[in-house]
Amino acid sequence: MQDDDPTQDTAQLDSERNFRLLLDGLVDYAICMLDPKGYVTNWNTGAERIKGYAASEIIGRHFSVFYTVRDREAGLPETALRTAQEKGKFEIEGWRVRKDGTEFRSFVVIDALYEDGELIGFAKITRDITERYKAQQALLESERQFRLLVSGVTDYALYMLDPQGNIVSWNAGGERIKGYAPTEIIGQHFSRFYTPSDQADGKPKRALGIAQTTGRYEEEGWRVRKDGTFFWASVVIDPIRDDTGKLIGFAKITRDITERREAQIKLEKMQRQLAESQKMDALGQLTGGIAHDFNNILMIVSGHLQTLKRSMGADPRLARAVQAIEHATDRGATLTNQLLTFSRRQQVNPERVDVSTLVRSVREVLDSGLGRDIKLELDLAPQTWPVVADVSEFETALVNLVINARDAMPMGGIVRVTAKNIQCNEPSGEFVSISVVDTGVGIANDVVGKIFDPFFTTKPVGKGTGLGLSQVHGFVHQAGGTVTVESEIGKGTQITILLPRAGTERAQTEMHMPQITSGSGTVLLVEDNPDVASASAELLTQLGYAVRWVADAESALNELERNGIDVVFSDIVMPGPMDGFSLAEAIKAKFPQLPILLTTGYSQAAQEALRKYPILRKPYRIHELSRALAELAH
Ligand SMILES: Nc1ncnc2c1ncn2[C@@H]1O[C@H](COP(=O)(O)OP(=O)(O)OP(=O)(O)O)[C@@H](O)[C@H]1O
Ligand SMILES: [Mg+2]
């Protein structure tokens, strides 16, 4: 009999022992046996390790102790055994309870055991999968949070495309920026966000191609919203690949940076304007310096010329020579004046001016410069707001513009001068807009930035000095306005001046009559240039004044101590520690009653002085000097 074979017994015992060892060695698995009712009959080391009961403590107890109260109340232990019995096997994942009451996540398999067709119990294998479960939960949670994050982000459109470019996901940012709800857009091709011309150009496809081959595509450009409006977008496309490197789609991030772009454009514009105004300031200082020296020279010429004129007798040749010199000095004075207008940033004789009236009053002057083939048309609003400007500068500016228009139309044409009130955003406020429009050759793009520069001209030598528009520029800026150009080659040019509407201050009505009043008394002439001084002294003498001349401010103050001075007539720009303006201040402090007249060919200090003292512009004529001195008496 087999049963009696002792060797077989040993073999079986060995095998059972080995099996026992095997079961106990599986410390990661709780393996136990239950009888058909669910009482524990067998218990391995793994079970002890995982659940905390020693075999002696648990054998004989019902397996439902491993279940939570909740599960027990729900009848889970019974269901488990019944299912195992009916189906041969029951598998479940869930929370189980250790001896110490703590819970662990388990994966349980219960197999029904039959012998000769009869149920003899259950084999139950339990794994502690708490760690794996937690890791899984953490992953799920982070994925969930990530999904929430992506879908909740509203500043960015974050979405995915399949490899063909069809949209497979959509977030709140996409909806906010582009206007589509997820249901409207998922499944559509992303090229619909591109402008029609970009679409025609094949840009969407190219973008995906670049992302795929280089690993990233980045761009700024116009995109289209659902409602058809455009926005300036910053776009990034990244390819997404699986573990094997196969392309599974694209991640696309789009931001609406329209506002940022606009701010940037504005900044760039401001920087350009700043650079422009710095250039103009530098040129202004340069030209102002030249004008100052030049005016002193002109002052000498014209001063002595007037003396010559008075004493030259009746020789007609002399008379012609003097007239020619006078003419040339006038021309020189006009040129330096243009330079000065450009270099000065504030006006010398501001007055309240009605623009339409002024334009109408110079119509003849403008017309006379135009010639037969060119027609002048005025289009003046009946009621233009008053502006504050220097009338003669204004007239000169108009003449300069109209002459330029004429020169641009060698075959003839029409020059229109218009004036109207406008409400403006940039610059903001109320302005009177004055335009001079021609139908001439236009201005090339590479030239248009330079036309206001002093001495910039495209005209042949002797035809243009390049100061016309510099004068216009200077005049406009002194009056607090702006000047702009619009031009198209072959079509014509429009130069528009905007002058700010004047406040309600009272009109300054001043008459400029070339009238000579002789004076009397002693003038203290302060002038560092002896030639200019002698020319000025000559004019003063002719007007009937006695003259005492000093070359600097200090000597002037000494001279005043000696009494007998009725008027001080001083240059502003002088070498030495004190200029004419400081001298005037010093005199005013000491001799408050003493009238002071200042003169200058150019000075930045002139602006400060202007508010306190009358200023005579060099070169001055005898009647201007006479009037300025006469006005001091009032
Ligand atoms: N209406 C216009 N049409 C075409 N080009 C113009 C016009 N106005 C000005 N320009 C261009 O701008 C340049 C500068 O003009 P600006 O009036 O300062 O000087 P100019 O006319 O050349 O000389 P000036 O006025 O001193 O006699 C001109 O040489 C011309 O090239
Ligand atoms: Mg000109």
What ligand has the least distance to the C-alpha of 443?
1
Distance, CA of 612 to chain centre: 41
Mean pLDDT of the chain: 88
3-state secondary structure of 514: coil
What CA–CA distance (Å, rounded) separates 421 from 559?
54
> Could you tell me which of 176, 171, 180 has the C-alpha nearest to residue 149?
171
pLDDT bin (cut points 50, 70, 90) of residue 110 is very high
Out of 5-9, 407-411, 517-521, 535-539, pick the least confident: 5-9
Q: Does residue 480 surpass a pLDDT of 70? A: yes
H helix or E strand, kind and range, residue 615: strand 615-617
Out of 109-123, 322-336, 432-446, pick the least confident: 322-336
Tell me the mean pLDDT in the region 201-219: 95
Annotated domain spans of the chain: 2-128, 134-256, 265-336, 344-500, 522-633
Expressed in angstroms and rounded, the spacing between residue 440 Cα and the centre of ligand 2 is 14
Tell me the mean pLDDT in the region 314-321: 86
What local confidence, expressed as pLDDT, does residue 524 receive? 94
2-128 and 134-256 agree in CATH topology: yes
- Per CATH, the homologous superfamily of domain 134-256 is PAS domain (3.30.450.20)
DSSP code of residue 62: B
Strand 492-500 vs strand 429-437: parallel, antiparallel, or unpaired? antiparallel
Chain segment 347-368, per-residue pLDDT in tens: 567 888 899 999 988 888 888 8
Tell me the CA distances in angstroms from 547 to 311, 332, 631, one per residue in order: 20, 28, 18
Tell me the CA distances in angstroms from 453 to 247, 339, 404, 421, one per residue in order: 60, 11, 15, 28
> Could you tell me which of 479, 545, 546 has the C-alpha nearest to residue 516?
545
Q: Whose CA is nearest to atom 20 of ligand 1?
A: 466
With a 6 Å cutoff on the Cβ, whether 459 touches ligand 1 is yes
CATH numeric code, 344-500? 3.30.565.10
CATH numeric code, 522-633? 3.40.50.2300
Q: Whose CA is nearest to atom 22 of ligand 1?
A: 457
With a 6 Å cutoff on the Cβ, whether 443 touches ligand 1 is yes
What ligand has the least distance to the C-alpha of 490?
1
Residue where the block lists tokens 């102002």: 288
Chain segment 245-299, per-residue pLDDT in tens: 999 999 999 999 999 898 888 888 888 877 877 887 787 778 777 887 888 888 8
Architecture of domain 2-128: 2-Layer Sandwich (3.30)
203-208 LR contacts (CB < 8 Å, sep 24+): 204/165, 205/165, 207/235, 207/237, 208/161, 208/165, 208/237, 208/250
Tell me the CA distances in angstroms from 220 to 150, 217, 495, one per residue in order: 22, 10, 35
What CA–CA distance (Å, rounded) separates 154 from 149?
10
Residues 293/603, Cβ–Cβ less than 8 Å: no
What CA–CA distance (Å, rounded) separates 293 from 109?
109
What local confidence, expressed as pLDDT, does residue 109 receive? 95
What CA–CA distance (Å, rounded) separates 24 from 26?
5
3-state secondary structure of 523: strand
Ligand 1: which of 334, 336, 459, 476 to mutate, most ligand atoms within 8 Å of CB? 459
What local confidence, expressed as pLDDT, does residue 344 receive? 66
What local confidence, expressed as pLDDT, does residue 416 receive? 96
Expressed in angstroms and rounded, the spacing between residue 389 Cα and the centre of ligand 1 is 23
Expressed in angstroms and rounded, the spacing between residue 81 Cα and the centre of ligand 1 is 105
